[in-house]
Chains A and B, each alone.
Chain A
Amino acid sequence: MPRNPLLLIILLLTVRPAMAEVHPASTRDQALDLLNKTTLPDSSVFWPNIKQPLFIANLKANINFPQKIYQGSNTNFCGYAALSYLPLNDDPLAYTIFMLSLYKTGEATWNGIHFKPSPEVHLAAGTLRFKGILDIRPADQLWFLSLADHFRSYLNFFTRHFHPGSENTFWAAVNYGKFNRMIRELLGYRVEARGSDLIRPDIADLYDFLKTTVARPGTTFLYVNNTYLHKKNHNKFKGSFPTHFIVLNDIHRIDGDPDMVDIIYWDYGGRTLRQVSLRFLKKITFGITHCIPPAP
């Protein structure tokens, strides 16, 4: 123990951010323990299409392998899947409490926000098909649908109510402001955001900014134009607006090529390392959000 109080303060200031990063608000073991001790009804009157064994298996998979959460193919759930990265990694117990309450009572509260999904969502959870592994992930369906049903923004203005197939439409879309708001209000994180839905952030040295940001405690999200990042056609004319959220884990320059960088990011249920030019990265990046978890 240092005797000099000034040295102690310096030590605490240096060590605390790192502690905040490695010590989440709760642990996987706590979440699994709660799940194992909770008795759930074989079927839920609130969620008639959710099979209880699949629901429990899905929660366990999310707690044990938080990076595997998958939005489903051809859905607009990427914003909700990216958001899930935070509670699954930092506070799996709070996530589990919320999901169990939602399953048992049909409604639940998290951080003072009360969720009471619409009857259409109650019927739809567990029925989404042809979405890859999301087909057999009823808890994820319930979670994504409930978030989309609760949090609305101008993108959802013309699609206010859920209809079968709405998961692929603007009903489920998430814009930048809504994404930041969900993290701030629902999870209580401090959100530092640069960017918008249409105009790229004016950052002189993007590499330096991102490198510094990811090195800080917390989680960094990028709001990107996915028609370039995850190309699905070879059309020359592409929309120049962002559509996708990714978690930026790391960025570093490639030796011998100052214009190229390796970015390591999470999306679609896994981490990817990709070599891109800084010009490309600047072109696709419309938002940079850094989230700092609330003090335990």
Chain B
Amino acid sequence: MTSRIPYRRLSLAALTLLLLATSCARLNISNYYRRHRPILDSIEHTYHDAYLKKPFSIEFTDRSFDHVSLELVTDTLTYIYEYRFDETRLPDTLKKYGYDTTSIGWLIRNMRTRNCTWIDNLDYYTETNKHSLIYISLWPRSFNSPFVSKKYYILTYFQQQQYFDSEGRLLVGRRLKRIRKINGDVYHRINDHVCYTISDRFR
């Protein structure tokens, strides 16, 4: 009987440690952003400029970040193609539809390095005014351990200064104090123009 007590205590301690490990293993996205800010901001700027010339989005479709899907938006059709990231057909396709192969090639390489699984431009509305934001989904491979949440870390870049409540949650506007949701998720402040959330979906 007495020999079973330490065994129980050990089990309890192990379980507690496991729970602690699971709960603590969530990536601190604010710190991640600050650490990698130059490259993340460059990805955003490059995408923003390239999107203005011709709209598109980029998605990495697998965990190894080897396959990339391009959505090329024209006035009449959206073309969706999927290639290996190093296939020659990829730049050929971009050229065919008149896209800037240099900046999109740079984006694909750097998104792959930084584990960005998706980048897109989203429209949102305040009252009747249309605005847009850039949406970057991160899926860090370095956090692929069993205890880490398999969720996506999403950064949103706004053109205008945003407003937040006392808990740092994104609001609809300065006068409109309602919490704004994007894709059904509540967002939190990193700075006045950049917010984050953790989501089950990358888009």
Contact = CB atoms under 8 A, between A and B. Distances in A.
Q: Tell whether A pairs with B.
A: yes
Interface of A: 54, 73-74, 129-130, 132-133, 135-136, 168, 231-234, 264, 270-275
A234 B63 contact: yes
Q: Report, as a range, how many residues of chain B touch the other chain.
A: 20 to 34
B139 interface: yes
B180 interface: yes
Most chain A CB inside 10 Å of its own CB: which residue of B77, B182, B202: B77
A232 B77 contact: no
A133 B123 CA distance: 8
A132 B78 contact: no
Contacts of A264: 77
A73 B183 contact: yes
Given A130-B180, A133-B123, A272-B78, A233 B201 contact: yes
Nearest to B71: A272
Interface majority SS on A: helix, strand, loop or mixed? mixed
A54 B78 contact: no
Given A232-B201, A273-B79, 19 more contacts: A73-B183, A74-B183, A130-B182, A132-B124, A132-B125, A136-B128, A231-B61, A232-B202, A233-B152, A233-B201, A233-B202, A234-B62, A270-B77, A271-B78, A272-B79, A273-B80, A274-B79, A274-B80, A275-B81
Interface in B169-190: 180-184
A168 B184 CA distance: 9
A136 B128 CA distance: 6
Contacts of B128: 54, 136
Given A136-B125, A233-B200, A273 B77 contact: yes
A172 B172 CA distance: 26
6 contacts: A130-B184, A136-B128, A234-B63, A270-B77, A273-B78, A273-B79
A271 B123 CA distance: 18
A264 B81 CA distance: 13
B82 A270 contact: no
A14 to B, nearest CB: 29
B76 A271 contact: yes
B139 A234 contact: yes
A196 B61 CA distance: 29
Nearest to A67: B76
A74 B78 CA distance: 20
Given A132-B123, A133-B123, A232 B182 contact: no
